Amino acid sequence: MNKKNRIKISVVGILMTTVSIFAAPETYLLFENSDFEKGTLENWSSEGNAFKLQPTKGDNPTERGRSDGSKNQGAYWIGTFEAYTGKSGQAGDVQGDVPTGRLSSKEFTISHNFINFIVGAGSHLETSVRLLVDGKTYLLASGPSSETMHQISADVRAFNGKKGKLVILDNVKGGWGHINADNFTGSNDPLARTSKPLETKRADLKKPGQGGAGKRKKLPLTGPEQSTKITLTKKFLLFPIKNGAPRPWVSLSLEGKDVRYFETAELASSADDISWWAFEDVSEFKGKQVILTVGGVSEAGFKLIKQSDSVPGEEKWGEEALRPQFHFSQKVGWNNDPNGMVYYDGEWHLYLQHNPVGWNWGNMTWAHGVTKDLVHWQQLPNALHHKEKDAMFSGGGAVDWKNTGGWKTGENDVVFITWTSTGRGECIAYSNDKGRSFTEYEGNPVIKHKGRDPKPLWYSYADNENPLSDEAAELGGHWVLAIYDEDKEYGRGIAIYTSTNLKEWELQSKLPGYYECAEIFSLPVDGDKEKVRWVIFAADARYAVGSFDGKVFKPGHEGQHQLHSGPFYASQLFSDAPGGRRIQIGWVRIALDGMSFNQTFTFPTELSLRTTDEGIRMFGEPVGEIEKIHGEKHSAENKSLSDNQAFDLVTSGALFDIRATFEVGNAKRIGLNVDGKPAFTYDVESGKHNKQDLKPVDGKISVQLLIDRPMMETFVNKGQMVITAAYENDLNIESVQAFAQGGEAKLISLEVYELEASWK
């Protein structure tokens, strides 16, 4: 039922002030310099080497080219990867993941209900913030494996009135072996989602842990190795998971061969410990007798593993406070890179790096999501399964329309995927059932080198091009594999391999300066099919525009450009998209605390190349299919804005597609507030938004905001700038306000669409 738009105009006179109904909790420094704003470590003491060049000044991760900036509060913060204090070194300097150490605060009295802080970087047990009370050590939080710090409110009411010390710990070397932390305050009400202090052991600085993608220091197992025979009669084998528990290996073997194997399963040791239930679809083995073995769990925990045709808690999937409602997310467990993205026969396939039996990274498996309209998703059974000492790392997918691999057995065209097997090399598998199941090529690996993340592409010849071979000439093109590669001469970069049969590959060229998850594709400039350019990028979304002859990519400019920013990483495009559409999905690196799932993905974004004053640039906008979930619309046009006059639309809901166009006028700043919180601000004087250069187009700035439960995506000037961010959504957004400061501007149009949840 349509309702009338509810509109109100806020007029702020000289004698009037605007008061928020929902005031933020008052916060207090725990002690002098608990926010590091003195630019020193006054009232803190350090051990080891990690904190010698601290505190860090400014957003150093952004200065050194990271897309996930620190989001530090104030000028100074702790970042043990960094080496810029404002007094020594220069912005962008780093000391890396090798130094370790401990930073301890002065003793203070715990006099508030909550200790608040922001934390980022490593998700290890020993890259964390801790609290010492009564001679015991309590874990408050680790990072989210992203440089961006997120807000934590630790519930310390049990310690009220006691003396305590804060500890910022970096006792891990290697990947994500550092810690970011800032702004320690006290409050009587939480600023964010709360965490409960968890008693843990004091770290031994003489025995640092070894980092890596999600690796953590091993906890002692809760029992011995145990094994049992099971006749499978149900669809699922269920595993009880406790977040942060010791991680034994799990094997499910059939006729002496592992059919499922997990290196690190976070198994609960008792029914009282269960955080959520993991499930493994074993319906393909129904009626078979298998042997289940767990390498170290309590007897009670082992007995909790069971068969079922349903998953405990599944009735609440989609209702969770942080469940993305119109972005894909796996039902349970961890995700990172999107993989194997391909369109075939009316379906868009999104495979993904997935840990089925843990909230953190591990046990890399290819999960599988599918959609027919890019907004309503269905999760299918996993496509590639983790093996002992062999994880299924990232890769791509495509349709073998010409059956060059010779694997077609029926009416369906072959869908194939490429991935990095950590135990073998670059591998390939093929499907004759529309991507539901895959058969490994018996000649795997097809490439062995130091690198990963193979992405396939069919390169078609123009009339005047020289074919790769006689066979390629008959086919009218050849296969290209773009792979992240490392060697002594080129360093990190993208290697280009070619093939005509998907089995035998030849190295053609290398392009240095790129890291992980290579992507290469063509696009017409300004929609002109006679003016085509090629684009290449890697995991951090830095890209180049140039030419490609099927063997060598030649950039058409110096350096690299950037479209995306925020906790955005390892994106991929759908292969074989109809109409030549280039549709991208990226991994959103935000921790979803307290959920049975962790991390998520961007909304599908359609890419284009456009001519700008600075040259040809890539743009990204949400796919038009978002209109399929548009609900009630609130709108307004031609509203004057000034210091004394803002404009508000009254709204209701938690999910929104907000679109606004401003005429800048002579204002110094313009923007949008959502539910009283800043959502978009353009600084006209500096010509920047989010510390990035931005110019009005014909005197106008446009912005589109997609707001979901845990996140917000911002698209500026029709996709000239794309920003992904975590979002504190109270699930009851009541207003969208347009404002101008320091002069006058005009709100040309404001459209606010309530969105319908599409997750279920």
Q: What is the DSSP string of 131-168?
A: EEETTEEEEEEE--SEEEEEEEEEE-GGGTTSEEEEEE
Strands 600-601 and 583-588, by their bridges, are antiparallel
Residue, of 415 and 172, whose pLDDT is higher: 415
pLDDT on residue 147: 87
The pLDDT of residue 213 is: 44
Which of 66, 64, 101, 104 is closest to 80 using CA atoms? Answer: 101
* Contacts (Cβ under 8 Å, ≥6 apart) of 402: 475
Residue 6 confidence (pLDDT) = 35
Q: Which of 726, 666, 712, 669 is nearest to 694 (CA)?
A: 669
Token pair listed for 652: 């209701």
Compare 507 and 207 and report the one with higher pLDDT: 507
Distances (CA, A) of 62 to 68, 604, 750: 7, 25, 32
Q: What is the pLDDT of residue 70?
A: 86
With CA atoms as reference, report the closest residue to 550 among 474, 452, 454, 477. 477
Looking at the chain, the whole-number percentage of residues with pLDDT higher than 90 is 81
Tens digits of residue pLDDT in 276-288: 999 999 999 999 9
pLDDT of residue 293: 96
Residues 715-720 have a mean pLDDT of 97
Tell me what pLDDT residue 209 has.
Answer: 66
**8 Å CB contact between 685 and 740:** no
Question: Which pLDDT band, with edges at 50, 70 and 90, does 23 fall under?
Answer: low
By three-state DSSP, how is residue 283 classified? helix
Give yes or no for residue 12 having a pLDDT over 90.
Answer: no
> With contact defined as beta carbons under 8 Å apart, do 250 and 264 qualify?
no
For residue 740, give both structure tokens. Answer: 């101008």
Q: What is the pLDDT of residues 380-396, one digit of tens each?
A: 999 999 999 999 999 99
Mean of the per-residue pLDDT values of the chain: 92
Q: How would you write 92-120 as a 3-class SS string?
A: CCECCCCCCEEEEECCEECCCCEEEEEEE
Confidence of residue 64 (pLDDT cuts 50, 70, 90): low
As a whole number of angstroms, the distance between CA 654 and CA 401 comes to 43
Q: Which residue has the tokens 């953190």?
A: 360
Of 329-333, 449-453, 726-730, 740-744, the poorest mean pLDDT is in 726-730
Query: What is the CA 138 to chain-centroid distance, rounded?
Result: 28
What does the DSSP 8-state code read for residue 267? B
Which residues are registered as beta bridge partners of 487? 491
* pLDDT tens-digit map of 317-374: 999 999 999 999 999 999 999 999 999 999 999 999 999 999 999 999 999 999 999 9
> Whose CA is closest to 694, among 704, 706, 678, 681?
681
Closest CA to 632 of 659, 654, 651: 651
CA 205 to CA 46: how far, in whole Å? Answer: 12
**Residue 74 and residue 72: Cα distance in Å, rounded?**
6
Q: What pLDDT is attached to residue 593?
A: 86
Beta bridge partners of 367: 352
**Average pLDDT in the 67-78 region?**
86
Task: Count how many residues are written for the chain.
Answer: 760
Q: What is the mean pLDDT of residues 52-64?
A: 86
pLDDT value at 234 more than 90: yes
Looking at residue 210, what is its pLDDT? 56
3 state SS of 475: helix
Per-residue confidence at 613, pLDDT binned at 50, 70, 90?
A: very high
Distance from C-alpha of 182 to C-alpha of 320, rounded to nearest angstrom? 29
- Whether the CB-CB separation of 361 and 214 falls below 8 Å is answered with yes
The least confident of 84-93, 498-507, 573-582, 682-691 is: 84-93
Q: Which of 597, 709, 593 is nearest to 326 (CA)?
A: 709
Please tell me the predicted confidence (pLDDT) of residue 145.
76
Least confident of 139-148, 254-263, 592-601, 683-692: 139-148
Q: Does the pLDDT of residue 581 top 50, yes or no? A: yes
**Would the pLDDT of 760 be above 90?**
no
- Cross-strand bridge partners of residue 460: 477
Query: What pLDDT does 14 receive?
Result: 26
Residue 1 has pLDDT above 70, yes or no: no
Joined together, the tokens standing for residue 474 give 């008959």
Nearest CA among 235, 217, 202, 126 for reference residue 171: 126
Neighbours of 654 (CB within 10 A): 19
Which amino acid would we find at residue 342? V
Q: Which long-range contacts (CB under 8 A, 24 or more apart) does 508-511 make?
A: 508/551, 508/552, 509/551, 509/552, 509/553, 510/485, 511/536, 511/553
* Euclidean distance between CA atoms 79 and 56, whole angstroms: 6
What is the C-alpha separation between 169 and 103, in angstroms, rounded?
A: 6
- When pLDDT is averaged across residues 697-715 and rounded to a whole number, the result is 97
In this structure, how many other beta carbons lie within 10 angstroms of the beta carbon of residue 682?
24
Encoding tokens for residue 296?
Answer: 């170290």
pLDDT at 450: 93
pLDDT of residue 170: 94
- 131 and 197 in contact (C-beta within 8 Å)? yes
Residue 476: closest CA among 464, 463, 460: 460
C-alpha 53/C-alpha 85 separation (Å) is 6
As a whole-number percent, the residues of the chain with pLDDT over 70 amount to: 94
- Report CA Rg, the chain: 27
The one-letter code for the residue type at 603 is F
Burial of residue 406, with CB atoms counted within 10 A of its CB: 0-12 exposed, 13-18 middle, 19 or more buried: exposed
User: In terms of pTM, does the model score above 0.85?
Assistant: no
Per-residue pLDDT at 134: 95
DSSP helix/strand/coil, 272:
helix
* Coil, strand or helix at 625: helix
Q: Report whether pLDDT(747) > 80.
A: yes
CA-closest candidate to residue 758, choices 604, 633, 605: 604
Split at pLDDT 50, 70, 90, the class of 17 is very low
